[in-house]
Amino acid sequence: MSNPVSNPVIHIVNGFLNPHGGSEQEALYLGRLLAERADVRLWASSSRCSPELASQYGIRKIGPGAGNRPDGGVYVFVGAHWRRRLWPYLSKAPARLIYVFNTFHPKILSLTSAHPPLLRWPKTEYVFISEFQKQLLGVEGEVQPSPIDIRLFAPAPGPRTSRTSLAIGRLSRDTADKHDPEDLALYRSWAQEGAEVRLQGATCLRDAFDAASGAVPSVQLLAEGAMPAVDFLRSLDVFYYRTGAHVETFGRVVLEAMACALPVVCHRRGGYAEWIRHGENGFLFDSTDEARGIVRRLMADPSLRASIGARAREAVESMYSSEAVERRTRFYLSGPRAQDGSAPDH
């Protein structure tokens, strides 16, 4: 890798639609990380950019007008792309073009890997957020886990045993594809066994719960963003996670839960599984029956919850050590790459 460029201009582009979205949080944290050593500018690729985010972080909407578009430097697209837009033809070509591939949409490859003849931009450099995702797509690129602020996502002060009942929960966007229908029966059974089940980003399940012979009082269906993510996670004793049609190429919320020293119980399909050692720093399951058995063990054994949670925190601290973060940061701060994707000789 080439040496870092002194105070480069780095433009970070994202839709910035949802203040609680993982892609948005990834782009914002990457911006904060790079701002310590670069001139970072945030751009919204969507006209539906969140006014809350725009006001809080000084995000500007991209447009064709002068001053309303990136104009040279390093362009970093986080889950957004530049195709079928006018402004790239009016801007100075970037020194480097980086695409952070934080979802699983293969059609985006065709939109980002080849440029129209009139657009003389450099070859796209890909950053994948898990080896799982990279292998699914079959494309060469850098692998970097989605950045997480482990100073913010940290264990709650004080013992968890002070609570009157054990809390099992999960956190996600409030969309049906983030939920597996088989989990409704699990939530009801855990509540009936005395646990408090707290689901933030799950109001989309209300009709399904009502249709299944009425709501269970101990299952709380909270709106997306009802509580700050770190506060919600700290209110739990066990974190459970499985999605429906949506494929988690990373699943940052799982790593945030681990950072908060929670024992996590997760479906094996997802990029987060690369970081979970089953039975050591978390649990992975393939079937609903396996999930039920793992959670029952955790419900009955406070010492197991504590030991698994402690090792989960250790794993995340290793992932985001100062040395690891420095290596990942240098990738964005290095100079222009040769067209074969390698760093130029110095």
- Which tokens in the block code for residue 14? 């994202």
Q: What is the 3-state secondary structure (H, E, C) of 296-328?
A: HHHHHCHHHHHHHHHHHHHHHHHHCCHHHHHHH
Kindly state the percentage of the chain with pLDDT values over 70: 92
Residue 211's pLDDT is 72
At 212-229, the pLDDT tens digits run 655 556 799 999 999 999
Sign of the Cα pseudo-torsion (181, 299, 297, 257, in order): positive
Sign of the Cα pseudo-torsion (305, 244, 83, 48, in order): negative
- Give 346's pLDDT tier (boundaries 50, 70, 90): very low
Domains along the chain with CATH numbers: 9-147+321-333 (3.40.50), 160-319 (3.40.50.2000)
DSSP letters of 115-183?
A: --TT--PPPEEEEES-HHHHHHHT---EE-PPP--TTTS-PPSS-GGGSSS-EEEEE--SSGGGS-TTH
Contact assessment for residue 77 and residue 95, using Cβ atoms and an 8 Å cutoff? no
Residue 34's pLDDT is 94
Residue 131 has pLDDT above 60, yes or no: yes
DSSP letters of 39-77?
A: EEEEEESSTT--HHHHHHHT-EE--SSTTSS--SSEEEE
- Which tokens in the block code for residue 234? 């700290």
- Give 242's pLDDT tier (boundaries 50, 70, 90): very high
Distances (CA, A) of 298 to 25, 91, 282, 283: 30, 56, 11, 10
- Which tokens in the block code for residue 182? 């088989």
Reduced to 3 states, what is the DSSP secondary structure of residue 268? coil
At 289-299, the pLDDT tens digits run 999 999 999 99
- Give 2's pLDDT tier (boundaries 50, 70, 90): low
Residue 342's pLDDT is 45
Residue 161 has pLDDT above 60, yes or no: no
Residue 146 has pLDDT above 80, yes or no: yes
Q: To the nearest 10°, the Cα dihedral for 149, 8, 145, 44?
A: 80
Give residue for tokens 């780095």: 10
Residue 340's pLDDT is 47
- Which tokens in the block code for residue 249? 């190429």
Better-scored residue on pLDDT, 320 or 4: 320
Residue 140 has pLDDT above 50, yes or no: yes
At 32-81, the pLDDT tens digits run 999 999 999 999 999 899 999 999 999 999 999 888 999 999 999 998 88
Residue 253 has pLDDT above 60, yes or no: yes
Contact assessment for residue 194 and residue 252, using Cβ atoms and an 8 Å cutoff? no
Give residue for tokens 């020293």: 261
- The helix (H) or strand (E) run that includes residue 100 is strand 96-101
- Give 345's pLDDT tier (boundaries 50, 70, 90): very low
170: left (phi over 0), alpha (psi -120 to 50) or beta: beta
Residue 203 backbone phi and psi in degrees, to 5: -65, -20
Q: In whole angstroms, how large is the CA radius of gyration of the chain?
A: 21
At 176-206, the pLDDT tens digits run 999 999 999 999 999 999 999 999 999 999 9
CA separation for the pair 301, 306 (Å, rounded): 9
Q: How far is CA 135 from the centre of its chain?
A: 18
Choice among 31-40, 203-212, 273-282, 335-344 with the minimum mean pLDDT: 335-344
CA separation for the pair 201, 217 (Å, rounded): 17
At 82-104, the pLDDT tens digits run 877 899 999 999 999 999 988 77
Residue 272 has pLDDT above 70, yes or no: yes
- Mean per-residue pLDDT over the chain, rounded: 89
Residue 216's pLDDT is 58
